[in-house]
Amino acid sequence: MERKIFLKFVFLLYCITSWIESKAQSNGYHPYPQEYNSSIRNLLVIDSNLYALIVSANLSKSNGKAKFCKTDSTNKNLFECLNLNDSVIYDDVLYEGDNTLFVGLLFSKNEDFPDTLVLEQRTNEFEYVTQLRIPVGQSTFFIHCVRDDSLRIFVTSFELKTDGIHEIILDKNLKLTNVIHKKHNTTVGGTIYYINKTLGPPGYIVCTASGVHQLDKQFNILKSTDSLINGNANMIIPAIDGGYVCFGRIAEKGYQALGITKMDINLKFLSNDTFAYKQTPYPAIYTPLAIDKKHYFVAGMLDVWNNDVIIGTEPNYFYIGKYDTEINRVWLKKKGGERHYALYGITADGNGGCCVYGFVREQTGIDNTIPFIMCFNDQGELTSYTTPQLPEERLFSIKGNPAYTSITLGNSCGQTGYTYCIFDTNGRQVAAGVLNTDDTVLDVSKLSAGMYLLSIQNKDAKVIQVEKLVKQ
């Protein structure tokens, strides 16, 4: 009799979990193709569709896996993936009328850094047209695209005073005809993190390790800011109502933090907000900034570095924030903690929400990286978290199973409106409740020893996860 009950239980578990695999996507958990050692480098809105540019996470010539994928408008699932040239490290995709331009870098020699800029022209349906390769030196690493009366692509290195700045000018229709290549020497030292056009005299506004500078067309410094005390900006954009907004890190007295600052057109301080203070010697990196018609969106992370490799493997946290035009905080979210996250960027969705993207890295090794997209609505509520399901992984993690007195359901992604039920082997419900937006501790001390099914439902009462629970 007991054997029949057990076999019935196993069959029921198999049927439910098989059904869950096909239905889990209704909750916003949508597996990618299993593209390990990959990252989402850019997330773009083209004709109201969201596209993901996937490249190697290690940015190495030996690990291409370059793809350009359209995402589902509701759940951000990838489909219609276009395979790109695996030897190119793609960085950006620009579009204008009937033309699309893929921009990237290439290792043409056996060097530690890429040395060639690749401009790949495609149609608005992404069909290949032609490609242009431009030598830009052997220590190149950063690409900056600026659009005004034309498209200007700047290629910079870590040592600007030594290597200079390469400027490639294209017609604004993005066709690879009449391309102009210039090289500028500059008085700017260190590394340029970001380049944008100025709102004043013709020239550029740049973010460097030493602060924010206004430059002329020949990249001579005209003005520098004193608005970022003990910090620097990784990205700067024109403000919605005039002036500039920048986002980066703050470092003081052994602490690191993230900060957003608003300046006027003369780079004078207007307002700011700082968050995520932590005592650590390692700086924050990848602090992207996005904008829609009414708000700014920021994303940043700490604890990215470790003592052995550039990007670590230990679980870390990252932050996503939304601000109004006066840099008043609308909402701020802290995510992660169950994996090692590395952010590449943030994109406003045009509806008051945003999506962050990059890759997650497992503790099994630095090569085990997988792309992800995490999206939030205008209220800061998580609407989708798209990444491959790794073995034994679901939306909610379970700790303390087998259990004596309690188990803990981890909700690191902040899912809301979820409930749980526990069933015995006869299908009888023995416990139920509501799950918290972080961790939920379930008291199972009164349950008899044996096997149970733990079922998790979303706010629409759809079962999205089933786990086997053992009470000892």
Across the 472 residues of the chain, what is the mean pLDDT of every consecutive 10-residue run? 48 46 36 57 83 73 69 67 83 87 80 82 90 82 84 82 82 85 79 86 84 86 72 84 88 79 89 82 70 93 54 74 96 83 87 89 61 89 68 62 86 73 84 84 90 82 79 88
Instruction: Evaluate whether 160 touches 188 at the Cβ level (below 8 Å).
Output: yes
Residue 446 is classified by DSSP as T
Q: How far apart are CA 76 and CA 27, in angstroms?
A: 11
* pLDDT value for 25: 37
Strands lying side by side in the sheet with 450-457? 429-434, 419-423, 450-457, 463-471
Q: How far apart are CA 15 and CA 72, in angstroms?
A: 28
Cα 178–Cα 97–Cα 73 angle in degrees, nearest 5: 135
Tokens matching residue 33: 């193709």
HSE of 248 in the Cβ direction (CA atoms, 13 Å)?
Answer: 26
Contacts for 470 with CB less than 8 Å, ≥ 6 apart: 401, 402, 403, 450, 451, 452
Length in residues, the chain = 472
Residue 403 is classified by DSSP as B
Which residues on adjacent β-strands are paired with residue 116? 106, 135
Determine the 3-state secondary structure of 252 from DSSP: strand
Q: Can you say whether the dihedral through the CA atoms of 190, 193, 196, 199 is positive or negative?
A: negative
* pLDDT value for 65: 66
Q: How far apart are CA 228 and CA 244, in angstroms?
A: 13
Q: How far apart are CA 248 and CA 242, in angstroms?
A: 20
Instruction: Evaluate whether 472 touches 402 at the Cβ level (below 8 Å).
Output: yes
* Backbone phi, psi, residue 199, to 5°: -95, -10
- Tokens 């979303």 belong to residue: 458
* pLDDT value for 322: 97
Determine the 3-state secondary structure of 72 from DSSP: coil
* pLDDT value for 400: 84
Determine the 3-state secondary structure of 299 from DSSP: strand
Instruction: Evaluate whether 409 touches 442 at the Cβ level (below 8 Å).
Output: yes
Determine the 3-state secondary structure of 408 from DSSP: strand
Strands lying side by side in the sheet with 49-56? 38-46, 49-56, 67-71, 78-83
Tokens matching residue 89: 């490290």
Tokens matching residue 48: 């109201």
* pLDDT value for 403: 87
